[in-house]
Structure 1
């Protein structure tokens, strides 16, 4: 549990502010995360890493000479938004471009890919490397689906060293990708972790047992076995990693090793484990180079640990042994005195978009949209704990907090837009942008996209007719499926969104009023969301634990159904223009 807390929804931001206050000589706060205190040297590629909060020293703790130039910091266990990634990348970028490096999770991939597209559109060269070291998250034939855990450090070190050597963007990217391809990790947990503000852990492990293959977001292990001695545990971890030796590492006899504590397993225990690993590696004909034993990718107070092995070549060994100086990782000697101070971006400038001139009727429609978004915020506030509980059964338990942050930000942005006289379209667009920015994660990106798409379709000309609203919902559904790649039956919010959109279109085509049509469509969405309990997930973090989710509805589908039901209640009180 968290012992130091103000508000769970602001935990990540509050913690980041304190982190920067403690390390002002090394990092500065920028919108969406942190960047080095000094500007990136001309001609040097900027390495921008990132992911959800709750894993310190990943990711902010690895910003500094020798590793990263900036870190985008999402909410607890949720990816940063595309806007956050873009903001950090802009702050860190030089003329040589930016490498984005992060763990391979659905939300991170979605948001970082959007950020990469935007950076390229702005003329900033950008490449990406996703870390896929966790051997338990997908079989060898599907390595591209594996998630990143403590192997992040190997890839970040390789990228940071290459950037410091003056390599161009393609060469930095290639070395980071090679480091990833030659890195493997496996973890075990003895207990789960608890999200800030919650009372129960995301998963539990029976006494005397340990979960093999858990994730750093609280995803439970793929198997539970009896607790082993240190020697037995060393054998289990080592055997499984050596069985995954990369084909490209044939003949490589030198390895880097990370024994990583996940929160509650202390240094003495980690050293004990490492001592048992050494003879096993030597027996396998391997020489360990500069081992790392400590905390590098944590999960709050989870009692667990992981073992990472990277098979080195000459260039990767140079990177692995190179100096670095960050808040949480220091090695060798680094001169930081000559670093040029960065010019801080003007983050006080207003980002409120110019409001389109509206008629009284259009402004009234904008006010009604505000009431609808307020209703979503209220129902999510009420149900956030339950949504988190549903998400924790086979996922990482952050859905409730993420939805809460997004809905609150959307409501605040909608209120400002409506107060300025904006029409329905502008209110929706600005609410969507705020939702995506503050929520992060997959759901944040998709909800933000949906609201923005609806706003662009509806526009600000008077009040939207029921058919116009139905067309906007259909456009949002198409955008969500196109971006998130989910289909009916994948056990995602799409399982509720598609029948909702189809039912709304059918009813408005029959001439039903918007309030009646929306309410009936919301009932269809609610039934569809309940029906996801019978499905097995085919996408996202729940996929490796699909059997655990059987019998439990998808939290994304449930939150969507709750939201549209709340909007239906608001629409019942208003007369929108009906054709």
Structure 2
């Protein structure tokens, strides 16, 4: 558990402040994360990495000469938002472009892809290489679905070496991609971890046992076995990795970099005990180990566990791996000081203060007040149910759905309130709430809820007093945004399983002449039934997918939170009794 904290909600931000203060000659704080203290040299591709907090030294600790130029930092176990990634990339980008690289998790993919598109839209060349080294997270036939763990270090090193040699963006991406293709990892865990402020572990491993394949967010492993000896652990790791080598690699006579990573509670002496057998077994197989790394490179708070990474080298990748680097957490060789100090960035949070509220009709302003009330009531529901949503998510995911939704809903409500106080119409209220929700929540659900609220707001606009069919159309726009970004369909065991029945039920009832409030309440009941029915589904997308059997019998937390949000919104509309919204004829209700 975390013994040292103030407000758990501020843990990640306060950690960044202390990190930058401790390493101010190497890094500076920028909006969304950290960057090198020195400006990126003109003509050099900038390497931007990132992910959720809670994994130090990944990702902030790997910013510096010979490694990343910047790191976007999400909240605890939550991907950074698209805004954070974009802001960090903008702070380090040159005319040569930006390479984005990160572990392959659904929320990171969604947010990094949005940031990449935004950079490209502004004329900044951008490419992406996702790290997919964890061989237990998907089969060889589905390597693109594998998650990234400690193998991140190998890929980041290759990309950064290529960038500092003056290679083009395409060349840097090609080398980083080759490094990823030649990197394989396996992890095991002996205990779980506790998120800051939580009273119970996020996940557990039975006493005296070891979880094989457990992920760094607590994703369940492929098996749980009695705790073996250190030699047996080393043999399991080595044999697993030698059983799947990259195409074109002959084990006998190959050269490989080795990363033996501690996940938080396994100390150096214990790692050395394991490594003694690792190097023996690799030597017996004919593998020459090149500059091994034994320590902590991708952690998970106090999680007890280890992972082994083999980075199969060619001449170019060996040069990259052996090159000098100097960062707060990873140093090798001697690095010449070069470059000029960057202009100190003023860290600004996304908000409405600098923006002008668009003009709105009085009708829309009044409906904006109702929109705020809906966002507020959803926030209150999430505050009440945050622990339960986290427990549902921990069964086959990483357990952060509750706290992520809480961060997003609170930020969305605050932004909606500020918009209402500024005289915003309904469309702007919802759009600002969505932007704030996405930025503060991070992760998959944060990005999707943000996109949904913005799409609904854009559909309503700031001029009309919406009729019931206008609201139904806005809800369908939100549905389209979620499915467009997240690519989920009904049956994938995601929030879409509740959202589609809600949107379709609302539209059909409104078309049949029902009032908005009655149609919404009935559609929310449809969503609730559909969310509960996800218990019988196996996930086809997201972090739960590799361990789909773990979630059987448990409803999807995203579907449950969506259904509950629509339910409390329906109650509010029923209490309002359409006093502000117009009926189908456009006549205001009494």
Q: What residue in structure 2 maps to residue 316 of structure 1?
A: 317
Contact 2:29 2:345 (C-alpha < 8 Å) held by counterparts: no
Contact 2:220 2:396 (C-alpha < 8 Å) held by counterparts: yes
Q: What residue in structure 2 maps to residue 448 of structure 1?
A: 450
Contact 1:426 1:460 (C-alpha < 8 Å) held by counterparts: yes
Contact 1:182 1:248 (C-alpha < 8 Å) held by counterparts: no
Q: What residue in structure 1 maps to residue 588 of structure 2?
A: none
> 3-state SS of the aligned residue for 1:136?
helix
Q: What residue in structure 1 maps to residue 121 of structure 2?
A: 121
| C-alpha separation in 2, matches of 1:347 and 1:21 | 14
| C-alpha separation in 1, matches of 2:408 and 2:514 | 31
Q: What residue in structure 2 maps to residue 577 of structure 1?
A: 582
TM-score with structure 1 setting the length: 0.98
Deviation at 1:362, TM superposition (A): 1.6
Q: What residue in structure 1 maps to residue 206 of structure 2?
A: 206
Deviation at 1:227, TM superposition (A): 1.4
* Structure 2: unaligned runs, 5 residues or longer: 585-590
1:72 correspondence with 2:72 = yes
| C-alpha separation in 2, matches of 1:512 and 1:461 | 24
| C-alpha separation in 1, matches of 2:487 and 2:348 | 37
Deviation at 1:211, TM superposition (A): 0.5
The farther-off stretch of 304-313 and 344-353 is: 344-353
| C-alpha separation in 1, matches of 2:532 and 2:6 | 34
**What do residues 80-115 of structure 1 show as CA deviations (whole Å, max 9, x unaligned)?**
111111000000111110000000111111111111
> 3-state SS of the aligned residue for 1:540?
coil
- Taking the TM superposition and a 5 Å limit, the aligned residue runs for 1:36-435 are 36-250=36-250, 253-336=254-337, 338-347=338-347, 352-435=354-437
Contact 1:99 1:128 (C-alpha < 8 Å) held by counterparts: yes
**What do residues 218-268 of structure 1 show as CA deviations (whole Å, max 9, x unaligned)?**
112111112111111111100010111111323761110000000000000
TM-score with structure 2 setting the length: 0.96
| C-alpha separation in 1, matches of 2:114 and 2:205 | 37
Q: What residue in structure 2 maps to residue 477 of structure 1?
A: 479
Deviation at 1:347, TM superposition (A): 4.4
| C-alpha separation in 2, matches of 1:115 and 1:143 | 24
Contact 1:503 1:524 (C-alpha < 8 Å) held by counterparts: yes
Deviation at 1:297, TM superposition (A): 0.1
> 3-state SS of the aligned residue for 1:28?
strand
Deviation at 1:339, TM superposition (A): 2.9
**What do residues 135-157 of structure 1 show as CA deviations (whole Å, max 9, x unaligned)?**
00001111111100000000001
| C-alpha separation in 2, matches of 1:7 and 1:549 | 32
Contact 1:51 1:59 (C-alpha < 8 Å) held by counterparts: yes
| C-alpha separation in 2, matches of 1:513 and 1:374 | 23
| C-alpha separation in 2, matches of 1:112 and 1:256 | 28
Deviation at 1:348, TM superposition (A): 5.1
> 3-state SS of the aligned residue for 1:291?
strand
| C-alpha separation in 2, matches of 1:339 and 1:218 | 40
> 3-state SS of the aligned residue for 1:379?
helix
The farther-off stretch of 563-572 and 118-127 is: 563-572
Deviation at 1:215, TM superposition (A): 0.3
| C-alpha separation in 1, matches of 2:347 and 2:267 | 40
| C-alpha separation in 1, matches of 2:293 and 2:104 | 22
Deviation at 1:559, TM superposition (A): 0.6
**What do residues 165-217 of structure 1 show as CA deviations (whole Å, max 9, x unaligned)?**
11111111111111100000000001111112212222222222111001011
The farther-off stretch of 204-213 and 402-411 is: 204-213
| C-alpha separation in 2, matches of 1:411 and 1:295 | 39
> 3-state SS of the aligned residue for 1:404?
helix
| C-alpha separation in 2, matches of 1:52 and 1:216 | 11
> 3-state SS of the aligned residue for 1:425?
helix
1:540 correspondence with 2:559 = no
* Structure 1: unaligned runs, 5 residues or longer: none
Give the 3 Å change call, closer, same or farther, for CA 351–290 of structure 1 in structure 2.
Answer: farther
Contact 1:365 1:462 (C-alpha < 8 Å) held by counterparts: no
| C-alpha separation in 2, matches of 1:104 and 1:191 | 24
| C-alpha separation in 2, matches of 1:284 and 1:30 | 46
Contact 1:186 1:308 (C-alpha < 8 Å) held by counterparts: yes
| C-alpha separation in 1, matches of 2:299 and 2:346 | 33
Q: What residue in structure 2 maps to residue 496 of structure 1?
A: 498
Contact 2:29 2:347 (C-alpha < 8 Å) held by counterparts: no
| C-alpha separation in 1, matches of 2:21 and 2:572 | 44
Contact 1:80 1:441 (C-alpha < 8 Å) held by counterparts: yes
| C-alpha separation in 2, matches of 1:21 and 1:432 | 32
Contact 1:428 1:451 (C-alpha < 8 Å) held by counterparts: yes
> 3-state SS of the aligned residue for 1:244?
coil
Contact 1:370 1:411 (C-alpha < 8 Å) held by counterparts: yes
Give the 3 Å change call, closer, same or farther, for CA 100–348 of structure 1 in structure 2.
Answer: closer
**What do residues 524-555 of structure 1 show as CA deviations (whole Å, max 9, x unaligned)?**
11111111111111111111111111111110
Contact 1:364 1:423 (C-alpha < 8 Å) held by counterparts: yes
Q: What residue in structure 2 maps to residue 29 of structure 1?
A: 29
> 3-state SS of the aligned residue for 2:248?
helix
| C-alpha separation in 1, matches of 2:237 and 2:336 | 38
RMSD of aligned alpha carbons: 1.2
| C-alpha separation in 1, matches of 2:534 and 2:8 | 28
Deviation at 1:520, TM superposition (A): 1.3
| C-alpha separation in 2, matches of 1:17 and 1:405 | 19
